[in-house]
């Protein structure tokens, strides 16, 4: 992906969180309070809090305010607070978001926070992500290097392979797509959008030697055929990735075979992937 | 004895950032038969700061560049306080590690039209050598390292915090005590080798950039078992942290590349104040100098109402800024500002701790069986770290720790932790939970951050340092009255109390070292000793725990084994 595409993608991500649309006063306390209802595990826990607003205020700030000023026992998780770790995923009024990069809606005086869908709750807003990672592991998510490659990643930035792969990197494994996918939610065996996106990237990667194994995994029960193209995943991705597009591409590859240029085992990638001057249909 | 589980492993790695996971990968490759356990306070591969790296990774790849130049840049950046063997090892290993990250780990880095890795310019370097993937380099490195764990399958103790190192009867490392954050269960993890790789402690400042996990746990644990620490006074402040009021976004970094691309820094009067501090390099000056200039402007009453200065790159045109700095634009829009179109309020933000445990180039410490890697170790960066040398450090030294651990483990017995030490560790951890009445930890954390910001921040003096020490005394006393109501499972207030204890321990050592260094060098600026003093202070400060648990300070000369500073080294 070149800088332009990356710019467009991130701009979209920025617009999605509403930051561009609603200009907020900088650093000044906002007016009034917001009523926050939190799904709690223990039946005797407080569920509703009147939280003082300040601006800017992310959903994560709501939770920190509850923890510090209302109920220190509230369970939620976060780490980096800048949309890189992918651990603060939850549902805000039913929509899966990253708490750290989602502003508290200025036009609502009450919000509901629930744990992400499709995974068992550990406590309050904390879920057990084991199932998500089990599916991830099923696609052989790591590079299986082709033998004898000297500098296998020697792919020009504008090469068809990089154009295909680059927009699909940057997955932060936050699980927002998994939570937003009706099928991953309902069936325990669906690989889910994130794992399939990862599979697509590795199958396209000429440094990798396990494409066949992965194609088998995604074609088996629980694979790409379970997807019904609800597009919840692509809509939810906080990084602007398109897992639904990745799944569509995998289906096409199953039908037509994985497009060349892929590196011949043992050969230097730079030769096998010399720019051809045109983008094969399947790569687009 | 407090109830606990017991687990044995050959190699126990504490921390799952760049250093921890590279360590696991290398140990597994060197000796696949060894059992490896990764202990991580948060999600494996998704905690800590390697993940948050925007800019990139310095490595000599171009034939026009040289290891010697990277080395000299690193020493000049570090104001010659570096352990030269550690710095030499860093720059020497970095190209190999970049290669490995691509060919073995599967990372993608940005490449040019010829297929060569594209390296960009970073402040303080004589050559464009920073490898990157857009402005999300850390996600690529950590995402792929995390994937590698599915290949080598270490035992992952996720959401498990290490409480203390435990030694055996001979004073050698025997393992760590642990607390499962999710369940509240205690454990003893016995090991032949322990690798400490938890990351630094910059979160002890009011305005700070790191992830929440970075509360100095590793350094505090090392200190408690008697390891000497060096360069603890060297805390790096990144010049451009966001100010977002009470939002947790405050302190998040706007990347260094903005200044490189021509952004202006202005005070509240609209003056480009760098003219007064570094007229030649202006905004492109080094991190320490720019941070100090901004801080001075704010302290002299020339700051914005929010207590910051502004960074402005809008003169490049909105489209250009959006194209080149998309991630940063998104970050500012999220808080109701817009980097592409207007000045954004920023402040220096505590970013990286150059100080840490004393190690050799194979990550060994004075305690047999205990290795330290990454930000938990001191000496690589001296008095100031270059942008792009941080992720290089964590992966280079993580890899070395893995190699050393794999070689060392078969020679060492499975640790037999002293039960009294383990039990003391559990009982201490339980105190805030058992206390019926007491105060919440959050206010104390805030007071610590204020005390360090005001007394031991960008600019320091003796009076301020002594006042901060006095406040730390109070906070330590108050820590003994903290109570954390709620369950043992997923009780993050309890975790905060445990974090705070480590932060206080490290803060003590930082203050002690900052008081001792009566000169200014790199990140350490003393307004009462504003000049560098190479005559007396080409020495590093060593802090060790004395019998009463208080820091004992000593100094040792820097071994100028490879290069000496030029006659006049500016502070």
The C-alpha of A170 sits at a distance from chain B's nearest C-alpha, in angstroms, of 6
CA-CA-CA-CA torsion sign (B41, A117, A18, A10): positive
| Residues linked to residue A208 through DSSP beta bridges, in sequence order | A145
Percent above pLDDT 70 for chain B? 99
CA-CA-CA-CA torsion sign (B213, B215, B216, B222): negative
Domains of chain B, start order = 5-234+352-411 (3.50.50.60), 236-351 (3.90.700.10), 420-557 (1.20.58.100)
Q: What is the C-alpha to C-alpha distance for residues B357 and B370, in angstroms, rounded to an integer?
A: 11
Cβ separation B51–A28 shorter than 8 A: no
Q: Which residue bears the tokens 């407080």?
A: A46
**Domain A130-273 grouped into CATH 1.10.1060.10:** yes
Q: Which CATH superfamily is domain A17-126 in?
A: Beta-grasp domain (3.10.20.30)
Chain A stretch 162-201, residues whose beta carbon is closer than 8 A to a beta carbon of chain B: 162, 165-166, 169-173, 198
The C-alpha of B189 sits at a distance from chain A's nearest C-alpha, in angstroms, of 22
Which three-class secondary structure state does DSSP give residue B526? strand
- How many CB atoms within 10 Å of residue B359? 29
CA-CA-CA-CA torsion sign (B70, B74, B75, B81): negative
Among the partner residues B106, B213, B489, nearest to A142 by beta-carbon distance? B106
CB B371 within 8 A of CB B356: no
Q: Which residues of A touch B134 (CB under 8 A)?
A: 1, 3, 6, 170
**CA neighbor of A19 nearest in space, from B406, B333, B68:** B333
**CA neighbor of B165 nearest in space, from B504, B508, B502:** B502
A112 touches chain B (CB under 8 A): no
Cβ separation A86–B46 shorter than 8 A: yes
Cβ separation B106–A145 shorter than 8 A: yes
Percent above pLDDT 90 for chain A? 63
Domain range annotation of chain A: 17-126, 130-273
Chain A interface, mutation test: which of B96, B199, B333, B499, most A Cβ atoms within 10 Å?
B333
Predicted TM-score (pTM) of this structure: 0.93
A275 pLDDT above the threshold of 80 = no
Cβ separation A145–B133 shorter than 8 A: no
Among the partner residues B146, B244, B327, nearest to A27 by beta-carbon distance? B244
A121 touches chain B (CB under 8 A): no
Neighbouring residues of A5: CB distance < 8 A, sequence distance ≥ 6: A166, A167
Cβ separation B108–A166 shorter than 8 A: yes
Neighbouring residues of A202: CB distance < 8 A, sequence distance ≥ 6: A139, A140, A141, A143, A208, A210, A211, A214, B106
Cβ separation A19–B335 shorter than 8 A: yes
B367 pLDDT above the threshold of 80 = yes
B454 phi, psi to nearest 5 deg: -80, -35
A120 touches chain B (CB under 8 A): no
Cβ separation A7–B326 shorter than 8 A: yes
| Residue B518: its H or E element | none
Confidence class of residue A280 from pLDDT cuts 50, 70 and 90?
very low
A1 pLDDT above the threshold of 50 = no
A277 touches chain B (CB under 8 A): no
A38 touches chain B (CB under 8 A): no
Confidence class of residue B254 from pLDDT cuts 50, 70 and 90?
very high
Chain A stretch 90-109, residues whose beta carbon is closer than 8 A to a beta carbon of chain B: 100-101, 103
- Provide the b/e sequence for B88-109 (b: ≥16 CB within 10 Å): bbbbebbbebbbbbbbbbbbbb
Mean pLDDT, residues B230-242: 97
CA distances (Å), origin B321, targets A208, A239, B194, B200, B309: 35, 19, 46, 32, 20
B460 touches chain A (CB under 8 A): no
Chain A stretch 217-256, residues whose beta carbon is closer than 8 A to a beta carbon of chain B: none
CA distances (Å), origin B543, targets B193, B198, B546, B558: 24, 19, 9, 15
Among the partner residues B46, B151, B440, nearest to A87 by beta-carbon distance? B46
Q: What is the C-alpha to C-alpha distance for residues B380 and B193, in angstroms, rounded to an integer?
A: 22
**CA neighbor of A15 nearest in space, from B333, B343, B248:** B333
Instruction: State ipTM.
Output: 0.95
Q: What is the C-alpha to C-alpha distance for residues B406 and B411, in angstroms, rounded to an integer?
A: 10
Q: What is the C-alpha to C-alpha distance for residues A3 and B325, in angstroms, rounded to an integer?
A: 9
Chain B interface, mutation test: which of A1, A12, A25, A27, most B Cβ atoms within 10 Å?
A27
The C-alpha of B135 sits at a distance from chain A's nearest C-alpha, in angstroms, of 10
pLDDT of residue A263: 42
Q: Which residues of A touch B43 (CB under 8 A)?
A: 77, 79, 85, 87, 129
The C-alpha of A75 sits at a distance from chain B's nearest C-alpha, in angstroms, of 6
Cβ separation A122–B47 shorter than 8 A: no
Report which DSSP code applies to B339: T
Neighbouring residues of A213: CB distance < 8 A, sequence distance ≥ 6: A140
| Residues linked to residue A35 through DSSP beta bridges, in sequence order | A50, A110
- The structure tokens listed for A39 are 């799904």
pLDDT of residue A187: 64
The two most distant CA atoms of chain B are separated, in Å, by 67
Q: Indicate the burial class of A225 (C-beta count within 10 angstroms; 0-12, 13-18, 19 or more).
A: middle
CA-CA-CA-CA torsion sign (B30, B52, B76, B70): positive
Mean pLDDT, residues A210-227: 93
Average confidence score pLDDT of chain B: 95
Q: What is the C-alpha to C-alpha distance for residues B96 and B226, in angstroms, rounded to an integer?
A: 34
Cβ separation B487–A103 shorter than 8 A: no
Q: Indicate the burial class of B341 (C-beta count within 10 angstroms; 0-12, 13-18, 19 or more).
A: middle
Q: At what angle do helices A243-256 and A211-219 cross, to 10 degrees?
A: 110
Q: Which residues of B touch A7 (CB under 8 A)?
A: 322-324, 326
Neighbouring residues of A118: CB distance < 8 A, sequence distance ≥ 6: A131, A178, A179, A181, A184, A185
pLDDT of residue B394: 98
**CA neighbor of B72 nearest in space, from B382, B409, B307, B440:** B382
Cβ separation A82–B331 shorter than 8 A: yes
Q: Which residues of A touch B213 (CB under 8 A)?
A: 79
Q: What is the C-alpha to C-alpha distance for residues B360 and B377, in angstroms, rounded to an integer?
A: 10
Q: Which residues of B are catalytic?
A: 238, 259
Chain B stretch 96-125, residues whose beta carbon is closer than 8 A to a beta carbon of chain A: 99, 102-116, 118
Mean pLDDT, residues A80-92: 97
Mean pLDDT, residues B249-264: 92
pLDDT of residue A261: 56
Cβ separation A81–B327 shorter than 8 A: no
Q: At what angle do helices B419-434 and B492-516 cross, to 10 degrees?
A: 110
Query: How many alpha carbons lie under 13 Å from residue B278 in its C-beta half-sphere?
Result: 17
Q: In terms of DSSP bridges, do strands B370-372 and B186-196 run parallel, antiparallel, or are they unpaired?
A: parallel
Confidence class of residue A27 from pLDDT cuts 50, 70 and 90?
very low
- The structure tokens listed for B571 are 């502070």
Neighbouring residues of A11: CB distance < 8 A, sequence distance ≥ 6: B322, B326, B329, B330
pLDDT of residue B294: 97
B157 pLDDT above the threshold of 50 = yes
Cβ separation B106–A165 shorter than 8 A: no
Cβ separation A79–B48 shorter than 8 A: yes
B246 touches chain A (CB under 8 A): yes
Report which DSSP code applies to B409: G
pLDDT of residue B326: 87
Q: At what angle do helices B84-103 and B390-408 cross, to 10 degrees?
A: 90
| Residue B153: its H or E element | none
Chain B stretch 59-98, residues whose beta carbon is closer than 8 A to a beta carbon of chain A: none
A195 pLDDT above the threshold of 60 = yes
A67 touches chain B (CB under 8 A): yes
| Residue B452: its H or E element | helix B441-455
A3 pLDDT above the threshold of 60 = no
**CA neighbor of B395 nearest in space, from B3, B62, B35, B131:** B131
Report the chain B residue with the minimal C-alpha distance to residue A5. Answer: B323
Percent above pLDDT 70 for chain A? 77
B568 pLDDT above the threshold of 60 = no
CA-CA-CA-CA torsion sign (B102, B54, B325, B62): negative
Percent above pLDDT 90 for chain B? 90
């Amino acid at each position: 992906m070149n800088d332009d595409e990356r710019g467009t993608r991130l701009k979209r991500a920025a617009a999605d969180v509403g930051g561009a649309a609603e200009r907020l006063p900088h650093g000044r306390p906002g007016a009034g309070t917001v009523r926050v209802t939190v799904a709690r595990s223990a039946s005797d826990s407080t569920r509703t809090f009147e939280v003082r607003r300040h601006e800017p205020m992310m959903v994560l700030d709501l939770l920190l305010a509850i923890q510090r000023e209302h109920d220190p026992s509230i369970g939620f998780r976060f780490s980096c607070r800048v949309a890189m770790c992918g651990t603060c995923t939850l549902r805000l009024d039913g929509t899966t978001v990253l708490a750290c990069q989602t502003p508290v809606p200025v036009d609502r005086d009450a919000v509901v926070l629930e744990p992400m869908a499709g995974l068992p709750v550990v406590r309050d807003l904390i879920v057990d992500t084991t199932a998500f990672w089990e599916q991830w592991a099923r696609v052989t998510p790591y590079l299986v290097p082709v033998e004898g490659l000297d500098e296998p990643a020697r792919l020009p930035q504008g090469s068809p392979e990089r154009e295909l792969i680059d927009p699909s990197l940057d997955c932060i494994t936050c699980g927002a797509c998994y939570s937003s996918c009706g099928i991953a939610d309902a069936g325990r065996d669906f690989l889910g959008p994130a794992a399939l996106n990862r599979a697509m990237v590795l199958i396209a990667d000429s440094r990798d030697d396990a494409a066949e194994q992965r194609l088998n995994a995604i074609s088996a029960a629980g694979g790409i055929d379970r997807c019904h193209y609800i597009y919840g995943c692509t809509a939810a991705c906080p990084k602007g990735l398109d897992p639904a597009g990745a799944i569509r591409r995998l289906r096409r590859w199953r039908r037509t075979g994985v497009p060349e240029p892929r590196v011949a085992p043992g050969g230097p990638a730079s030769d096998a992937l010399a720019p051809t001057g045109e983008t094969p249909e399947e790569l687009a | 004895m407090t109830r606990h589980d017991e687990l044995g492993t050959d190699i126990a790695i504490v921390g799952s950032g760049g250093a921890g996971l590279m360590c696991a990968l290398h140990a597994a490759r060197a000796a696949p038969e060894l059992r490896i356990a990764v202990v991580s306070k948060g999600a494996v591969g998704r905690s800590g700061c390697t993940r948050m790296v925007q800019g990139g990774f310095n490595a000599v790849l171009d034939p026009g560049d040289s290891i010697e130049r990277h080395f000299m840049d690193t020493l000049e950046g570090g104001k010659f306080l570096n352990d030269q063997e550690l710095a030499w090892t860093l720059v020497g290993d970095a190209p190999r590690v970049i290669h490995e990250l691509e060919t073995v780990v599967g990372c993608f880095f940005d490449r040019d039209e010829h297929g060569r890795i594209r390296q960009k310019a970073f402040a303080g370097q004589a050559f464009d050598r920073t490898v990157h993937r857009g402005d999300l380099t850390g996600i690529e490195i950590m995402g792929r390292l995390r994937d590698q764990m599915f290949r080598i399958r270490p035992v992952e103790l996720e959401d498990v915090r290490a409480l203390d190192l435990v030694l055996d009867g001979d004073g050698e490392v025997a393992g760590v005590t642990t607390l499962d954050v999710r369940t509240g269960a205690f454990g003893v993890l016995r090991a032949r080798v322990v690798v400490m790789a938890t990351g630094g402690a910059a979160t002890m400042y009011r305005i700070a950039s790191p992830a929440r996990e970075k509360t100095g746990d590793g350094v505090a644990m090392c200190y408690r078992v008697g390891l000497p620490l060096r360069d603890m006074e060297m805390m790096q402040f990144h010049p451009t942290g966001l100010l977002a009021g009470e939002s947790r976004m405050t302190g998040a970094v706007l990347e260094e590349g903005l200044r490189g691309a021509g952004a202006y820094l202005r005070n509240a009067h609209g003056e480009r104040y760098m003219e007064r501090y570094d007229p030649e390099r202006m905004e492109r000056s080094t991190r320490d100098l720019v941070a100090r200039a901004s801080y001075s402007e704010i302290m002299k009453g020339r700051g914005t109402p929010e207590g910051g200065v502004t960074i402005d790159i809008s003169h490049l045109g909105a489209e250009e800024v959006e194209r080149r700095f998309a991630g940063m634009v998104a970050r500012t829009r999220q808080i109701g500002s817009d980097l592409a179109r207007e000045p954004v309020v920023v402040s220096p933000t505590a970013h990286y701790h150059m100080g840490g445990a004393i190690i050799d180039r194979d990550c060994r410490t004075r305690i047999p069986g205990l290795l330290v890697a990454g930000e938990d170790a001191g000496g690589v960066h001296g008095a100031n770290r270059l942008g792009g040398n941080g992720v290089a450090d964590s992966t280079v030294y993580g890899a070395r720790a893995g190699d050393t651990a794999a070689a060392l483990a078969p020679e060492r017995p499975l640790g037999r932790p002293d039960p009294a030490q383990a039990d003391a560790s559990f009982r201490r951890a339980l105190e805030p939970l058992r206390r019926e009445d007491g105060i919440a930890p959050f206010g104390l954390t805030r007071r610590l951050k204020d005390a360090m910001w005001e007394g031991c921040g960008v600019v320091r003096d003796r009076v301020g340092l002594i006042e901060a020490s006095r406040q730390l005394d109070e906070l330590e006393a108050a820590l003994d009255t903290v109570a954390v109501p709620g369950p043992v499972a997923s009780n993050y207030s309890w975790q905060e109390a445990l974090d705070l204890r480590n932060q206080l321990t490290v803060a003590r050592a930082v203050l002690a070292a900052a008081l001792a260094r009566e000169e200014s060098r790199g990140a350490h600026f003393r307004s009462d000793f504003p000049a560098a003093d190479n005559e007396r202070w080409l020495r590093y400060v060593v802090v060790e725990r004395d019998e009463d648990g208080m820091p004992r300070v000593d100094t040792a000369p820097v071994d100028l084994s490879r290069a000496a500073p030029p006659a006049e080294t500016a502070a």
